[in-house]
A = this chain, B = another copy of it.
Amino acid sequence: MTGERDRSDSFAIAGSGVYLPQRVVTARELDALTNRPEGSTAASFHLRERRWASPAETSSQMGAWAAEAALAEAGWDRASLDVILGACGVMEQPIPGTSVLIQRRLGLGDSGIPAFDINATCLSFLLALDHVLTGFSIGRWRRALIVSADIASAALDFSDPEASVLFGDGAAAFALEANGPHVRLAYRFNTYGEAADVCRLEAGGTRLRPDEDFDAFMAHSKFHMEGRGVFRATSRRFGGFLAGLLSTAGISPADLDVVIPHQASAAGLEHLKRAIPSGDEKVVDIFADIGNQIATSLPFAWHVARQRGLLHPGRHGLIIGTSAGVSLGGAVIRW
């Protein structure tokens, strides 16, 4: 499994959009929330601020606003969409999925347009993109909408700064079209379930039930992360993973022009910058102001790269990240 050479995964980005919640939470507020000295959050975690969703800014509402922006840029009749894919880290509610709620918010509730969700926590967007590109390559779909939306602030444990201040809320959406200038040269996704416990949110599924054992439910209702465990599970595999991906794409690390990573943490981004030649210039880093938005980080950073004019035709881009699981995922795209 060193990756896969894609033969016909060409596509166009017809539009992209993001949504950030109104409420700004500063690093100083996070100092207070985590009960640490003033200035320590900014210094330790290299962040300025986070955005947190209000009750009115639900996952599907933020996702729909991001999707509206993407569709406005695309200029499409939205009824021409062939599929709406939800690619969230955690869904708004278990039944039905966020993609369905977004379909309804977009005024497409009577359209019949297929809406479903793909979940691989922080790499859900990468998997959804793969599903869409595969659908394009076999001629099934011509126009697809992928929406990521996450509210990490719904489940943060501030007694553990490392597992809480990293995260921010938001949404990002891409309107993609078949047969465009961009070509995915390689794709790779590997899961190592032996590290399933290093990033986990246990309450909210079929196992823990608030009416059976309320204390156990509440004790597991916050996101739990063992930073060292994540590092151990991913770092020893990262070099080989990246080498395999680039080899499949037929390029060397120096050929990469832009790197669009999941915004896991400042330390993770520094690691990546050192692994890529001229990484400081090439890696899109929005961690200080936006943070780790779970599945939304990847499309959000990609949208920022578009806005910054980094995706020139012919350039090589790397999309890469890790997710709870743990999984490593990436793609090489020629713009």
The 9 residue pairs across chains A and B that have the minimum distance between CB atoms: A109-B194, A104-B193, A112-B190, A103-B193, A151-B206, A116-B120, A95-B201, A204-B204, A115-B191
Measured in the bound complex, the distance between the Cα atoms of B254 and A289 in whole Å is 62
- Report chain B residues within 8 Å CB of A223: 95
Q: Are A211 and B221 in contact (CB under 8 A)?
A: yes
Q: Is A58 close to B, CB under 8 A?
A: yes
Partner of A96, one of B91, B155, B196, B237: B196
Q: Are A96 and B117 in contact (CB under 8 A)?
A: no
Q: Is A234 close to B, CB under 8 A?
A: no
A82 to chain B, nearest CB (A): 8
Q: Are A194 and B110 in contact (CB under 8 A)?
A: yes
Measured in the bound complex, the distance between the Cα atoms of B4 and A96 in whole Å is 25
Q: Are A120 and B117 in contact (CB under 8 A)?
A: yes
Q: Are A207 and B140 in contact (CB under 8 A)?
A: no
Q: How many copies does the complex hold?
A: 2
Residues in A lying within 8 Å of B, measured CB to CB = 1, 4, 58-59, 84, 86, 89-104, 108-121, 123-124, 127, 131, 134-135, 137-138, 140, 150-151, 154-155, 189-196, 199-211, 217-218, 221, 223, 237, 323-327
Q: Are B221 and A210 in contact (CB under 8 A)?
A: yes
Sample (12) of A-B pairs whose CB atoms are under 8 Å apart: A90-B94, A93-B201, A101-B196, A104-B196, A109-B194, A114-B189, A115-B191, A116-B119, A118-B118, A134-B135, A134-B138, A204-B205
- Report chain B residues within 8 Å CB of A192: 109-112
Q: Are B325 and A59 in contact (CB under 8 A)?
A: no
Q: Are A193 and B116 in contact (CB under 8 A)?
A: no
A198 to chain B, nearest CB (A): 10
Q: With A110-B194, A115-B327, A194-B104 in contact, is A207–B59 under 8 Å at CB? A: yes
Residue of B nearest to A85 (CB): B118
Measured in the bound complex, the distance between the Cα atoms of B196 and A103 in whole Å is 10
Q: Are B114 and A116 in contact (CB under 8 A)?
A: no
Partner of A119, one of B113, B117, B202, B203: B117
Q: With A104-B196, A211-B221 in contact, is A91–B206 under 8 Å at CB? A: yes
Partner of A206, one of B90, B135, B196, B205: B90
A114 to chain B, nearest CB (A): 5
Among A92, A140, A211, A325, the most chain B Cβ lie within 10 Å of the Cβ of A325
Residue of B nearest to A9 (CB): B138
Q: Are B211 and A1 in contact (CB under 8 A)?
A: no
